[in-house]
Structure 1
Amino acid sequence: MLVKLAALGAALLLFGATVADAHGPTRKKVTESVEINAPAEKVWALVGDFQDMSWHPAVESTAGEGGSETGATRTLTLQGGGTIAEELAKHEPEKMSYSYRITDVDVTVLPVTNYSSTLTVKPGEGGKSVLEWRGAFYRGFPNNNPPPELSDEAAMEAVSGVYRAGLDAVKAKIESGS
C-alpha cells in the first residue's frame, strides 16, 4: 500500500509540474516612483501632456495625433533607433494621471507584449511631490522556455530601467530648474 501511495504521489507531482509548465507566462507588474522637491502641479506640467515625452532621455522624438484625449496616439522614436506606438486609454488632469497601452513594439526594442501603464503625480509633504510610473505586461516571448533576452526577468528589468531613467530625468530637470 505504501508503495502505491508513493507512486501516486510521484505521478501527481509529475502531472503538476507538467500542468505548471504548460501554463505559459504570467502578467508581470513594475512600479517605480521618485520624490521630487517641487509641487505636484509643476511636475504634472512637465509630464502631463501625452504628446510630449521630451523629458525622457531615451526618447528622441514624439509624433502623434489626438492631443491628450482618450484614444490619442503617439509614436516614440528612440535614441539609437526603434519606435514604440502607444494609445492613450485615460487622461485625468484633475487627478494628475494618465494611462496608456503599447499598440506596437518590436520585442528587440522593448521585450514585452500586452503592455499597459499609468503615470501619476501625487502631492507629497512639505511642497514635494511623488511621480509614480506603474505598468503591467507579459514577457516578449509568449510560449514556454523563452530565450534569455525575452524572459520575464528581461522584461521586468527593461521596464524598470525605462521607468527609472524617466523618473530620474524628471527629478533632475525640475530640481535643477532647467
Structure 2
Amino acid sequence: MRNLILSLLVFFSSLSAHAHGPTPQKAKEAIAINAPVAKVWGIAKQFGAIADWQPDLKQSTGDGLLQSGGKRTLTFQNGQSLVEELDYYNEQEHEYSYRLKTENPQAFPTSSHTVELKVNAGDTPDSSVVTLKSRFYRGDTGNTPPAELNDEAAVKAMNQFFTHALNGLKSKAEQ
C-alpha cells in the first residue's frame, strides 16, 4: 500500500512539472509629481483622454462613462487599436482599474491585462505620487510563443508603457 501511495504521489507531482502555458506577469511603476492631487487627478481621471499625456498613443476615445463598464479605444502610433473597459472608478479615492476588453497583440503584446491607477498625496501639499500596476499574460498564450509575443516582450512593453505614461502625466501636470 505504501508503494502505491508513493507511486501516485510521484505520478501526480510529475504532471505539474510538465505543465505548459503562460504564467501571469506583473508590472508596477510610480512617479512623484510636483503638483497637488486635485490637479493630477483632474488630468488622469479622464479615462478616454489618456492620449493627451501618453506619448505612445496617437489617439484615445472614450464613451464618457466614468464607472464600471466605461470603455475607451486606444490607437497606438503604429495605427493598431485595442479596447479597454473600466472595472472600478472612485472619484474620492483618486483611483480606477480597467482591463483589456478587445485584445490586439499587434497593438500591444498582451492577451489580457488589468491595470490600476492611483493618485496619492506626496510629501508636501503641492505634490503627488501616481502608481500604475498591472497583472497580465503574454500576447501568445501557446507553449512556444514568438519572441515579440513572449513573457519578456509583454513585461518590457508594459513597463515601457507605464514609464512613458507617468513621465507624460508628470510633464502635463507640472506645466
TM-score for the superposition, normalised by structure 1 = 0.85
2:61 alignment partner, one of 53, 56, 63:
63
Q: What 5-or-longer segments of structure 1 have no aligned partner?
A: 1-11
Q: In 2, are the aligned partners of 1:62 and 1:76 still within 8 Å (CA)?
A: yes
Q: In 2, are the aligned partners of 1:29 and 1:134 still within 8 Å (CA)?
A: yes
Q: What 5-or-longer segments of structure 2 have no aligned partner?
A: 1-9
C-alpha RMSD of matched pairs (Å): 1.9
CA distance in 2, matches of 1:64, 1:169: 19
Matches within 5 A, 1:6-155: 16=14, 19-53=16-50, 54-127=52-125, 128-155=127-154
State how many pairs are aligned.
164
CA distance in 2, matches of 1:20, 1:145: 17
Equivalent residue of 2:67, what SS? Answer: coil
CA distance in 2, matches of 1:66, 1:22: 43
Partner of 1:165: 164
CA distance in 1, matches of 2:45, 2:82: 19
Percent identity (aligned): 36
Q: In 1, are the aligned partners of 2:104 and 2:111 still within 8 Å (CA)?
A: no
Residues 38-77 of structure 1 deviation map (CA, whole Å, 9 limit, x = unaligned): 1111110111111211111122222222421211111111
